[in-house]
Amino acid sequence: MTIVVQKYGGSSLADADGIKRVAQRISETKRAGHDVCVVVSAMGDTTDELLDLAKEVSPLPPPRELDMLMTAGERISMALVAMAINDLGFSARSFTGSQAGVITDAEHGKAKIIDVTPGRITQALADGHVVIVAGFQGVSQDTKEITTLGRGGSDTTAVALAAALRAEVCEIYSDVDGVFTADPRICRRATKLDRISGEEMLELAAAGSKILHLRCVEYARRFGIPIHVRSTFTDKPGTIVADLTEGEAVEAPIIAGVAHDNGEAKVTIVGVPDRTGMAAAIFEAVARAGLNIDMIVQNVSAVETGLTDISFTLPKGDGRAALQALETIKETVGFHSVIFDDQIGKLSLVGAGMRTNTGVSATFFKALADAGINVEMISTSEIRISVITREERLADAVKAVHTAFGLDSESGEAVVYGGTGR
């Protein structure tokens, strides 16, 4: 008997009808002869409603209590899904993250899974039950406190359980048909991928693709768990995310897809003396403030002045903290000024074939130039090229690059069903 782990997001569980539809799907998998372990998010807007309640009561709620509050959301949806499965003639048991053995560190609101001890789950599956587990939550190892995992937490819960249960596959259900060569909301001719390597998926997720969260993909790669990204609303197969065999890799397309991100801002430090240690002083100050920066560019310094400019990007929400951190070192470093620009967009082209195929960069930059799009920053990895453009040109840039690499679908427009859950 093989074990299948399935994860359903909030948009698939928006109301009683959604819950019944999900229960139907789960029952079909059980009927097909699999042991099924299901991870659920909170229903539709529950998470936002609970956050609103917290805000009404307290301007700055303690993280421990916020986690206690938020975890009520998955508790509600998992019990309801279990009830609906029961009505279809299968026995179902729901378990909280803590009961399921999801052990985390003690960082409330953004805890990391450090172990999974699924004894109760294994027993329940052996007893013939369908198991429903609350996503997004766990219990801290030393303090036994209820924790939440932060963004993408339910996906990560599903992959972690799949690894601990040695599941055949981890199916992640949402409101899109799979992983596309670009976001179908922007690029209507995006093509669904049948398969993508974990390495490429990691780059796409890091570059702003919302379909799977970075931590979930990392976890799946580390434990060799294939992920099947598919839609709750159709029976069509979705996209398999799994590292390719050597033979498959040869056959794989050069480019996996185009990702975009309009959640970043650019900080430029003007007039930095071109002396050893200046960049280090700047990025140490930013790191001390707990901020993650993404791209960094340093210009060649002007010969007459001995001054240079340094630019970096980071999430828009961290902008204020970055400016405060830089202010503290303005005198010691001796730079002129700081420019903050949150009207930027990031476009990334990802493909494992870049390693062995020349001419990818040439095609990429020609496509942007032909579309009249100015490139402000560039960064690359082995299998990715990213550029910063004006935010208002980002959608045009995605479409131009998508077309230039022959990714446009022959078979018409991609279907988008609705919003995405957490």
**Residue 95 main-chain phi, psi, to 5 deg:** -135, 140
Rounded distance between C-alpha atoms, residue 230 and residue 202, angstroms: 18
Helix (H) or strand (E) holding 327: helix 319-327
Please report whether residue 51 would count as binding its own copies according to CB under 8 A: no
Question: Residue 66: helix, strand or coil by DSSP?
Answer: helix
Please report whether residue 38 would count as binding its own copies according to CB under 8 A: no
Helix, strand, coil percentages in the chain from 3-state DSSP, rounded to 5: 35, 25, 40
Q: How many CB atoms lie within 10 A of CB 409?
A: 17
Q: Which is nearer to its own copies, 15 or 370 (CB)?
A: 15
Q: Kindly state the tokens that stand for 205.
A: 């997720």
Q: Which is nearer to its own copies, 61 or 226 (CB)?
A: 61
CB-neighbour burial class of residue 414 (10 A; exposed 0-12, middle 13-18, buried 19+): buried
From 47-55, 205-213, 234-242, 278-286, give the range in contact with its own copies by CB under 8 A: 47-55
Q: Kindly state the tokens that stand for 21.
A: 């539809």
CB of 149 to its own copies, least distance (A): 17
Please report whether residue 79 would count as binding its own copies according to CB under 8 A: yes
| Structure-token match 């920066």, residue found | 293
Q: Which is nearer to its own copies, 47 or 348 (CB)?
A: 47
Please report whether residue 87 would count as binding its own copies according to CB under 8 A: yes
Q: Kindly state the tokens that stand for 418.
A: 């609705």
CB of 61 to its own copies, least distance (A): 4
Q: Which is nearer to its own copies, 50 or 375 (CB)?
A: 50
Please report whether residue 21 would count as binding its own copies according to CB under 8 A: no
DSSP 8-state class, residue 105: -
State which of residues 76, 249, 338, 416 lies at the interface with its own copies (CB under 8 A): 76
Please report whether residue 69 would count as binding its own copies according to CB under 8 A: yes
Rounded distance between C-alpha atoms, residue 213 and residue 129, angstroms: 29
From 53-61, 283-291, 320-328, 407-415, give the range in contact with its own copies by CB under 8 A: 53-61
Which amino acid would we find at residue 301? S
Please report whether residue 19 would count as binding its own copies according to CB under 8 A: yes
From 89-97, 182-190, 245-253, 307-315, give the range in contact with its own copies by CB under 8 A: 89-97
Q: Which is nearer to its own copies, 4 or 124 (CB)?
A: 124
For 110-171, give the DSSP string.
S--EEEE--HHHHHHHHTT-EEEEETTEEEETTT--EEE--TTHHHHHHHHHHHHTT-SEEE
Please report whether residue 53 would count as binding its own copies according to CB under 8 A: yes
6 closest CA partner among 132, 113, 108, 103: 132
Which amino acid would we find at residue 31? R
CB of 141 to its own copies, least distance (A): 16
Q: Which is nearer to its own copies, 58 or 328 (CB)?
A: 58
Are residues 36 and 131 in contact, defined by beta-carbon separation less than 8 angstroms?
yes
Q: Which is nearer to its own copies, 69 or 255 (CB)?
A: 69
Please report whether residue 50 would count as binding its own copies according to CB under 8 A: yes
Instruction: Provide the angle, in degrees to the nearest 10, between the axes of the packed helices 46-57 and 63-87.
Output: 150
Helix (H) or strand (E) holding 27: helix 16-31
State which of residues 29, 45, 51, 68 lies at the interface with its own copies (CB under 8 A): 68
Q: Which is nearer to its own copies, 10 or 178 (CB)?
A: 10
CB of 65 to its own copies, least distance (A): 4
From 77-85, 207-215, 354-362, 383-391, give the range in contact with its own copies by CB under 8 A: 77-85
Rounded distance between C-alpha atoms, residue 172 and residue 12, angstroms: 11
CB of 109 to its own copies, least distance (A): 13
Which amino acid would we find at residue 46? T
Q: Which is nearer to its own copies, 80 or 227 (CB)?
A: 80
Please report whether residue 271 would count as binding its own copies according to CB under 8 A: no
Please report whether residue 109 would count as binding its own copies according to CB under 8 A: no
| Structure-token match 């830089």, residue found | 326
- As a whole number of Å, the end-to-end CA separation of the chain is 30
Q: Which is nearer to its own copies, 143 or 332 (CB)?
A: 143
Q: Report the interface residues with its own copies, using CB under 8 A.
A: 16, 19-20, 50, 53-54, 56-62, 64-66, 68-69, 71-72, 75-76, 78-80, 82-84, 86-87, 92-94, 99, 120, 144
